[in-house]
Amino acid sequence: MTRPFGLLAELTYACPLHCPYCSNPLNLGDYREELTTQQWRQVISEACELGVVQLHLSGGEPLQRRDLVEIVRSAAERGLYTNLITSALGLSARRAEQLREGGLDHVQISIQSDEPTASDRIAGTPSFDRKIAAARLVKRLGWPLTLNFVLHRGNIDRIAGVLALAEELDADRVELANTQYYGWAWHNRAALLPSREQLERAETIVRAERDRLEGRIEITYVLPDYYNKYPKPCMGGWAHHQFTVSPNGDALPCPAAQPLPLPRANVREHSLDWIWNESPLFQRFRGTDWMPEPCRSCPRREIDFGGCRCQAFLLTGDAARTDPVCVLSPDHGIVAEAVRAANEPRRPVAAALTPRPHPRDAG
């Protein structure tokens, strides 16, 4: 067991966007009672004592928190590296100046596509022009800028334009992250999962652009799990390097773990030290002793740690099973069938999507 180095602080699930691939939980109404400013200060203090050095401020939309500057300042005073993960809606010049003065180190902005109509349609609200203006503001104020584009069947064919936009905005880093299927993305999987042909075209473009932009823009390209032979390691191992605190104070080994039928661990009731070192939730899948076959005897067991526990639960109903993404999993046929359906010759590129609701509309 190691000490954590990263904390993802999901300050609120409120968000002005309605992206159909949002990984936040479906039951948004359960997260209305958010931690106070003082409670977040306590979380930050305890995280530092655990060894955390990076604080990622996310949501929802963290700019919806009026106390965001105070939270940033509290983290900066403790020496944490702070990263704002944002849609950029609400990042006015005045707010940006306050965040810079408060000690914010880095800004990551999500953009849904490279042109206004498509981007606004995916986001569910007019937002493209404000995102571009915010990206330019970030660079003007001297912050490193990461642009995050979540890829799916409806926008992956725009990847050349996406990279051209990143170059125009002088981004330092670009994340081309194919949708992973949790939350609303799981609900919309049939419409979001790209075809193999789309992925191959995208990879060709990414390889060429990586070579051309080497030394100028760092490009990260993440395939959908469903097209990999082996699963990704679950957060580098369950409760191994990082953890999440959700808006209501639930501490989680990964941001998608809310639906798992496991005991809760909440910062209102327990210290982070107890949660990380002793809680049943964080102990449940830590290490390799919990593994069933074929993971238990697999030479990859300390490489991918059995894959994603949340994905195993969503696909099989049992979080302790081998991730069905793995070709060695007895449940791999579930993933193979989803991939087969995504590659049906007559399947349309665009399909009906259910947008993420605003928390105030959730029951």
Annotated binding site: 15, 19, 22
C-beta of residue 147 within 8 angstroms of C-beta of residue 109: yes
> Considering only CA atoms, which of 306, 312, 307, 295 is closest in space to residue 260?
312
Cα 189 to Cα 196: distance, rounded to the nearest angstrom: 15
Q: What is the DSSP string of 52-64?
A: --EEEEESS-GGG
Q: Order of strands, edge to edge, in the sheet holding 6-10?
A: 218-222, 173-178, 145-151, 106-110, 81-86, 54-58, 6-10, 242-245, 251-252
Cα–Cα distances in angstroms (integers) from residue 321 to residues 153, 304, 328, in the given order: 28, 13, 12
Binding region for [4Fe-4S] cluster: 15, 19, 22
Q: Calculate Rg over the CA atoms of the chain.
A: 20
CA angle 349, 110, 145 (to 5 degrees): 135
Cα 163 to Cα 101: distance, rounded to the nearest angstrom: 31
C-beta of residue 181 within 8 angstroms of C-beta of residue 342: no
C-beta of residue 169 within 8 angstroms of C-beta of residue 213: no
Residue identified by tokens 């238990």 is 296
Measured torsion, CA atoms of residues 84, 88, 91, 96, in degrees rounded to the nearest 10: 40
Enumerate the H helices of the chain as residue ranges: 37-50, 68-77, 93-102, 116-123, 128-140, 159-168, 183-187, 189-192, 196-213, 272-277, 280-283, 309-316, 332-342
For residue 56, what are the β-bridge partners? 8, 83
Q: What is the DSSP string of 69-125?
A: HHHHHHHHHTT-EEEEEE--TT--HHHHHHHHHHT--EEEEE-S-SSHHHHHHHHTS
